[in-house]
Chains A and B, each alone.
Chain A
Amino acid sequence: MTASSTKSSTQLPDAEALLPADAVISSARAADGHTELTVDRSRLLEVLRTLKERPELDCDLLLDICGVDYPRRDQRFEVVYHIASLARDHRFRVKVPISEDDATVPSAYGIWKAADWFEREAYDLFGITFEGHPNLKRILTHGGFHGHALRKDYDPGQRWLLTEEDSMVPAWATEELTDEDHLESQVLNLGPSHPATHGTLRVVVRLEGETISKAECEIGYLHRCFEKMSETHGWNQVIPYTDRLNYCSSMINGVGYALAVEKMLGVEAPPRAQAVRVILSELSRIMDHAVCLGANLVDLGALTNFWYFFQPREEIYGLLEACAGGRLTVSYARVGGLAHDVPADFEERVRYLLDYIPKFVNDVEKLITTNKIFRDRTEGIGVVSPEDAVAWGWTGPCLRASGVPYDVRKAHPYMGYEQYDFDVPVASTGDTYARYLVRMEEMRQSLRIIRQAIDDLPEGPVITDDHHVALPPKEKVYTEMEALIWHFKLIYEGIHVPKGDAYSFTEGANGELGYYIVSDGSGHPYRLKVRPPCFAIFQAFPHILEGHMVPDAIAILGSLNIIAGELDR
Chain B
Amino acid sequence: MKDVPTINVDRGPIPFSERIYLGPIVKGLAVTLRHFLRNLFGHRDVATIQYPEVKRQYSERLRGRHILTTKEDGSLRCVACFMCETACPADCITIVAEEDPEATVEWEKKAALYEIDLLRCVFCGYCVDACPKEAIIMSRQHEMAFGAREEAVVGIDELRQKGPIEDQDLGYRPYF
Contacts of B86 in A (CB 8 A): 491-492
Give A11 Cβ to nearest chain B Cβ, in Å: 14
Once the chains are docked, how many angstroms separate the CA of A170 from the CA of B5?
45
Once the chains are docked, how many angstroms separate the CA of A375 from the CA of B18?
10
Contacts of B176 in A (CB 8 A): 340-341
Is B37's beta carbon under 8 Å from chain A?
no
Contacts of A28 in B (CB 8 A): none
Contact of B5 among A311, A423, A437 (CB under 8 A): A423
Is A471's beta carbon under 8 Å from chain B?
yes
Is B4's beta carbon under 8 Å from chain A?
yes
Is A31's beta carbon under 8 Å from chain B?
no
Is B9's beta carbon under 8 Å from chain A?
yes
Contacts of A428 in B (CB 8 A): 8, 10
Once the chains are docked, how many angstroms separate the CA of A487 from the CA of B134?
13
Once the chains are docked, how many angstroms separate the CA of A368 from the CA of B38?
21
Chain A, residue nearest B88 (CB): A237
Q: Which residues from 29 to 80 on chain A have a C-beta closer than 8 Å to any C-beta of chain B? A: none
Taking a contact as CB atoms under 8 Å apart, the answer to whether B175 and A474 are in contact is yes
Contacts of B90 in A (CB 8 A): 240
Give the size category of A's interface with B.
35 or more
Contact with A along B73-103 (1 / 0, CB 8 A): 0000000000100110110000000000000
Q: A341-B176, A367-B31, A474-B175 are in contact. Are A325 and B5 (CB under 8 A)?
A: no
Contacts of A311 in B (CB 8 A): 47
For chain B, the count of residues having a C-beta within 8 Å of the partner chain is: 50
Taking a contact as CB atoms under 8 Å apart, the answer to whether A241 and B89 are in contact is yes
Give A375 Cβ to nearest chain B Cβ, in Å: 6
Give B1 Cβ to nearest chain A Cβ, in Å: 5
Is A159's beta carbon under 8 Å from chain B?
no
Chain B interface: which of A1-9, A105-113, A551-559?
Answer: A1-9
Contacts of A441 in B (CB 8 A): 7, 9
Contacts of B138 in A (CB 8 A): 325
Q: Which residues from 333 to 366 on chain A have a C-beta closer than 8 Å to any C-beta of chain B? A: 339-341, 343, 363, 366
**What DSSP secondary structure best describes chain A's contact surface?**
helix
Q: A339-B129, A366-B31, A434-B9 are in contact. Are A5 and B1 (CB under 8 A)?
A: yes
Contact with A along B28-72 (1 / 0, CB 8 A): 101110010000000000010000000000110111000000000
Is A478's beta carbon under 8 Å from chain B?
yes
Once the chains are docked, how many angstroms separate the CA of A209 from the CA of B5?
46
Q: Which residues from 462 to 501 on chain A have a C-beta closer than 8 Å to any C-beta of chain B? A: 471, 474-475, 477-478, 484, 487-488, 491-492
Once the chains are docked, how many angstroms separate the CA of A308 from the CA of B18?
23
Q: A5-B1, A86-B1, A372-B19 are in contact. Are A438 and B9 (CB under 8 A)?
A: yes
Contact with B along A485-523 (1 / 0, CB 8 A): 001100110000000000000000000000000000000
Taking a contact as CB atoms under 8 Å apart, the answer to whether B28 and A407 are in contact is no
Chain B, residue nearest A471 (CB): B129
Is B155's beta carbon under 8 Å from chain A?
no
Taking a contact as CB atoms under 8 Å apart, the answer to whether A411 and B9 are in contact is no
Q: Which residues from 13 to 28 on chain B have a C-beta closer than 8 Å to any C-beta of chain A? A: 14, 18-19, 21, 23-25, 27-28
List the 3 closest A-B pairs by CB distance, nearest first.
Answer: A325-B61, A322-B59, A423-B7
Q: Which residues of A contact B (CB under 8 A)?
A: 1-2, 5-6, 8, 86-89, 233-234, 236-241, 304, 307-308, 311, 314, 321-326, 329, 331, 339-341, 343, 363, 366-367, 369-372, 375, 405-407, 410-411, 422-429, 434, 437-438, 440-441, 445, 471, 474-475, 477-478, 484, 487-488, 491-492
